[in-house]
Structure 1
Amino acid sequence: MTTGIAARIADRIRHSGPVSVAAFMTEAMFDPREGYYATKNPIGAGEDFITAPSVSQMFGELIGLWCAQVWMDMGQPARFHLVELGPGTGQMMSDMVRAGRAVPGFLDAARITLIEASAALKMVQGRTLTPMGVEALWLDRLEDVPDGPAIIVGNEFLDCLAVRQAVKQDGHWHERMVGLDDDEDFTFVMGPRLGMDADLVPARLQDAPDGTLVEFRPGDRQLVDVLGRRFSDHPGRALFIDYGPAQSEPGDTFQALRGHEKTDPLAAPGTADLTARVDFEQLGALARAGGLDVDGPVEQGRWLKSLGLEMRAAALIRSAPEKKSVIARQVMRLTEPDQMGELFKVMTFSTPGLPKAPGFAPEA
């Protein structure tokens, strides 16, 4: 353990006992000096992982047109906030803006805001968006976005929110935590009973047998609370695209990616991307309980096709026939079941009473 983050976490464990998986993950990812997002641009073929916007421009273009339709469904407010959570390299917003220019008045009304914790990524986003003539506001938290109507998008944002884990033992849920072994390396250990926090275990999994490991996500509840307050005061809709099951499932999905390879999530904190699958069933239940309308989850492939992905691909091929095979591979990567098409899901949260979100009609 050589990094400052590892030394600090180990020292805390020696003095105060094991830490939760959520605490370990938060420190490793968001430490302002040495955390993963504070020090790295992790997105791209030569980095740690690839996201859908870097697969194809079509992904962001369709989301831009989706946002424009939502703006029209909201009554075309003269001013609204177009917010992206965790905007990566800025590529998706760049593609959204390019497509959105086809809708009269949409970008004139939009106030683009990027919620980003990484100083390194903020610089990358600025370099991406400046050539597009985009005036953007960078903020650290969604809560800091000024009042007013809003359309909020987050692609692979939720999977980075901290996750807690629990294991059922003798009929009770115990928190799975991170401690130190005899060699002073990080290791998983059994922690105390959850007590009242046992209610955070997804309802579908409450009666699971002994030995079952489950994950629950305190960050989801915080996000839903923010959206619920905002959308009760001002019309709005939030779109989330991420990987995870449509129904709550047991199992350990806490993982680390470095150089496109899975690695030990407890090794060298701050040097790898830590994520866990999103529980869309639990997320939707939280949102409904918070007074929000919920659409989805639907599979990413199905959703993109319902928005016209194949027609957009055909148009790109007509304009650049030499790129036909490349564009076809991009469509497959985004939509095929063994690629991103089924693992990734799409869900929206909205002010009650808005028209159904594009791409979520029953026949979609």
Structure 2
Amino acid sequence: MSQTSEGRQESPDARPEARIADRLRTRIGESGPVPVPVFMAEALFDPIAGFYATKDPLGAGADFVTAPEISQMFGEVIGLWAAQAWVDMGSPAHVHLVELGPGKGTLMHDILRTGRVVPGFLNALEVTLVEASPALKMVQGRVLADSPVQIRWADRLEKAPDGPAVILANEFLDCLPVRQAVKAGGVWRERCVGLHPDDETRFAFVTGPALSSADLEFVPESLRDLPEGSLVELRPGDRQIVDALALRFSRHKGRALFIDYGPAKSEPGDTLQAIRAHEKVDPLDRPGTADLTTRVDFETLAKAGIEAGLDVHGPQTQRDFLAALGIAQRTKMLAARVPEKRDMLLRQLDRLTGEDQMGVLFKAICLSSPGLPDPAGLPPFTAQG
């Protein structure tokens, strides 16, 4: 035990990382097991000890590395995609470039650097970063300190300024809390987190109450008749994002690009994982000290977009999407300019597009206001049989 300045012994439970676990144990002891998204939200977004509130989780020495950190080429081709989206919208004199979950700000930095080559694009931009983490806001502010356009922040998409918009989200949806349901006794039941029967200091998954008829609407239709013991994930957070886009794009032209990892077609199974210092760990261990993510259900996301009246293109594998945007040609150009970095550039390209790297698992999907030209690199959505 440590000692305070007054000489009193301080309980180990006073440590910041114990704050979340203690509160969850108290809540479970008083009211019973909590649904999985409640556990995730506490672990990720607690304002004092939550993972995103306290950590700078991105970068080579941190918990995970995203595509913009792998290579500047990713941000460069996405920047040109965003500029083309602006042109497709009629090159409005003012357009909001909004990024959801902008990480360190690296992607936006590369986009704005590349945007200089498109006449009028930077002059039209107003940039908003949608970020909930105070720690990451500070990092983003440093990275974008020399930005050619003014940067503002919002806590959620609905708070971003109104008007025509190009919205970007790289590895954002996978961090939204999800619900899980287990087929038990022929009924879909909420999967919850309770206390371990052999050790009440630990957490364990338990089966909770039956889903309501309204909740069942979030279970992909193709998965509702799965056999006993099956597990499915429900993503109401994705639906909220789609509804916010539909409302925004009903007033002004807009286009939203999501790049994330997950299947193109709805699949059953538990995809909740925790990453701490690049290693997979138990998702229930030491909440607040590891990133929690799940795979995105792109088919359900696409169908939600269509139901909301949006045009949907994709999902397309990141490999094919980046190839269509010319990333291989960009690699060749850079390698010719700095031949001593050729091998490094090829390794970066492989990590972004290789079949056994990010190329196939990661997908891109675009949701747009109706009537715009097809977005670069993405075919119209077609429901799979």
Q: TM-score, normalised by structure 2?
A: 0.93
State the distance in 2 between where 1:268 and 1:94 align.
Answer: 34
Runs of 4+ displaced beyond 2 Å: 131-134
Are 1:247 and 2:287 an aligned pair?
A: no
Are 1:223 and 2:241 an aligned pair?
A: yes
Q: How does 1:277-288 map to 2 (within 5 A)?
A: 277-288=295-306
Are 1:135 and 2:147 an aligned pair?
A: no
Give the CA deviation at 1:170.
Answer: 2.2
Give the CA deviation at 1:133.
Answer: 3.6
Q: 2:210 aligns with which of 193, 197, 205?
A: 193
1:184-231 deviations in Å (ceiling 9; x for gaps): 111000101102112211111011111101101110111111001000
Are 1:33 and 2:48 an aligned pair?
A: yes
Are 1:65 and 2:80 an aligned pair?
A: yes
Are 1:179 and 2:197 an aligned pair?
A: no
Q: 2:371 aligns with which of 336, 353, 357?
A: 353
SS in structure 1 at match of 2:138? helix
Give the CA deviation at 1:4.
Answer: 0.1
Which residue does 1:209 correspond to in 2?
227
SS in structure 2 at match of 1:72? helix
> In 1, are the aligned partners of 2:45 and 2:53 still within 8 Å (CA)?
yes
Aligned AA (1:147)? D
> In 1, are the aligned partners of 2:36 and 2:179 still within 8 Å (CA)?
yes
1:253-311 deviations in Å (ceiling 9; x for gaps): 00100010000000111110000000000111111111111000000011000000011
Are 1:94 and 2:94 an aligned pair?
A: no
Give the CA deviation at 1:319.
Answer: 1.1
Are 1:113 and 2:128 an aligned pair?
A: yes
Which residue does 2:91 correspond to in 1?
76
Which residue does 2:171 correspond to in 1?
156
Are 1:337 and 2:352 an aligned pair?
A: no
SS in structure 2 at match of 1:176? strand
SS in structure 2 at match of 1:207? coil
Aligned identity (percent) is 60
SS in structure 2 at match of 1:131? coil
State the distance in 2 between where 1:134 and 1:55 align.
Answer: 24
Are 1:292 and 2:307 an aligned pair?
A: no
Question: Is there any run of 5+ residues in structure 2 with no aligned partner, and where?
Answer: 1-12, 381-385
State the distance in 2 between where 1:227 and 1:50 align.
Answer: 27
State the distance in 2 between where 1:99 and 1:23 align.
Answer: 40
SS in structure 2 at match of 1:353? coil
1:73-125 deviations in Å (ceiling 9; x for gaps): 10000001000000000000000011111001001001000000011101111
CA RMSD of aligned residues (A): 1.0
Aligned AA (1:258)? R
Aligned AA (1:164)? R
Aligned AA (1:47)? A
Which residue does 2:161 correspond to in 1?
146
SS in structure 2 at match of 1:192? strand
Which residue does 2:5 correspond to in 1?
none
Q: 1:361 to 1:181 in 2, by over 3 A?
A: closer
Q: 1:43 aligns with which of 42, 58, 62?
A: 58
Aligned AA (2:207)? M
Which residue does 1:272 correspond to in 2?
290
State the distance in 1 between where 2:203 and 2:296 align.
Answer: 25
> In 1, are the aligned partners of 2:122 and 2:149 still within 8 Å (CA)?
no
User: Highest CA radius of gyration, 1 or 2?
Assistant: 2
- Mean Cα displacement is larger for which, 85-94 or 163-172? 163-172
SS in structure 2 at match of 1:356? coil
State the distance in 1 between where 2:306 and 2:56 align.
Answer: 35
Question: Is there any run of 5+ residues in structure 1 with no aligned partner, and where?
Answer: none
Q: 1:324 aligns with which of 342, 346, 353?
A: 342
State the distance in 2 between where 1:133 and 1:119 align.
Answer: 23
Which residue does 1:307 correspond to in 2?
325
> In 1, are the aligned partners of 2:314 and 2:379 still within 8 Å (CA)?
no
Q: TM-score, normalised by structure 1?
A: 0.98
SS in structure 1 at match of 2:96? strand
SS in structure 2 at match of 1:112? strand
Give the CA deviation at 1:361.
Answer: 4.2
Which residue does 1:104 correspond to in 2?
119
